[in-house]
Amino acid sequence: MSLRIAIFGQAPFGKDVTTRLLDDGHEVVGVHVPPDAGGRADPLAAEAEARGLPLFRHRRFRRKGEALPELVEEYLALGADLNVMPFTTVILPPEIVDAPRLGSLCFHPSLLPAYRGGTAIPWQIILGASVSGVTVFQPDEGLDTGPIVVQKGGVEIGPAETAASLYFDHLYPLGLEAMAEAVAAVAAGTAKPLAQTEEGVSFQPRLDDEAARIDWARPAQEIDRLIRGCDPQPGAHALRGDEPVRLFGGGLREAASGAAPGTIMAADGDTLLVAASGGAIAIKKARLGDAKKAPATVSGLEVGDRLS
């Protein structure tokens, strides 16, 4: 059965989910993407324009907790059977979430109810999860608390995994399949949403600069996970003197050294080894000062430098 679908999302994942649903024979009656930030054209918005799909660019749908009536009216005119939210950063009011006859489906990159929140991927690495997966659920008034429609797990988080590799290599393709499967089940009338259990519930806040600050008093294993979890954004950071340094490409190494934690104690080709409690951290990239992008090497750091 073909459905009339309204998309709320952005980024490559939003584009690929939309393309997959069109290929599966569904009609996309509206694509909602936040306005571009930083001059970069959003891939989902670009795809919608290229296909001639109705495109809406609203920064918010609520003001002071209340739905913006003109945007609700605009949305209702689309006549959607189902809302699909593959990569949603805006908060939608219930007047939109609950409006379609088949409700809404939302994607989340964790095995709910664990790792609720907007930065689930990095926190899974930082907090030492060994297995990950994806969930498609029906959003309700809570944050990532709604009934689960499709859940796919079995993704092992390896010792070298970064937030980027976990997402793009594993959760991204798995998420595409989960979203398509959930929409197909809703269309066929076979979806059986299950309420989330209270067992294993966790919520993590946004991963900000304070959370990304390296505390060299922590064990090497924890520092390694922090660096990998914050790679590529926002970058785990320390100071060299008064200069901020963000570290990338981390990896745990066994190394005996009398150097104080945070000291760059050796160079191995294009990799620096930083002393830490109980081991050492391999660093392959660094961003110094106010630089906006990480360079391809650790140029600028030297053996003997102390990161505090």
* Rg of the chain in Å (alpha carbons): 22
| Integer Cα distance of 122 and 115 in angstroms | 10
Dihedral class, residue 154 (left if φ above 0, else alpha if ψ from -120 to 50, else beta): left
pTM: 0.94
Give the amino acid at 251: G
CATH number of the CATH domain containing 191? 3.40.50.170
Number of domain units in the chain: 3
Q: Which two tokens stand for residue 268?
A: 């191995």
Dihedral (CA of 14, 20, 24, 29) sign: positive
Cβ atoms within 10 Å of 137's Cβ, excluding its own: 25
CATH number of the CATH domain containing 288? 3.10.25.10
Domain end among 207, 228, 260: 207
Q: What is the pLDDT of residue 257?
A: 67
C-alpha dihedral, 171 to 174 to 177 to 183, nearest 10°: -50
Q: Which two tokens stand for residue 197?
A: 């259990």
Q: What is the pLDDT of residue 289?
A: 82
pLDDT in 10s for each residue of the chain, 308 residues: 899 999 999 999 999 999 999 999 999 999 999 998 877 899 999 999 999 999 999 999 999 889 999 999 999 999 999 999 999 989 999 999 999 999 999 999 999 999 999 999 999 999 999 999 999 999 999 999 999 999 999 999 999 999 999 999 999 999 999 999 999 999 999 999 999 999 999 999 999 999 999 999 999 999 999 999 999 999 999 999 999 999 998 788 887 667 899 898 887 778 888 999 988 999 989 888 877 777 777 778 888 889 98
167 is in which domain, residue-wise? 106-207
Domain end among 58, 82, 102: 102
Residues 278 and 301 in one domain: yes
Q: What is the pLDDT of residue 303?
A: 87
Residues 187 and 226 in one domain: no
Cβ atoms within 10 Å of 251's Cβ, excluding its own: 17
| Integer Cα distance of 284 and 299 in angstroms | 9
Number of H helices, E strands in the chain: 8, 16
Residues 46 and 140 in one domain: no
Backbone angles phi, psi at 246, to 5 degrees: -105, 135
Cβ atoms within 10 Å of 290's Cβ, excluding its own: 7
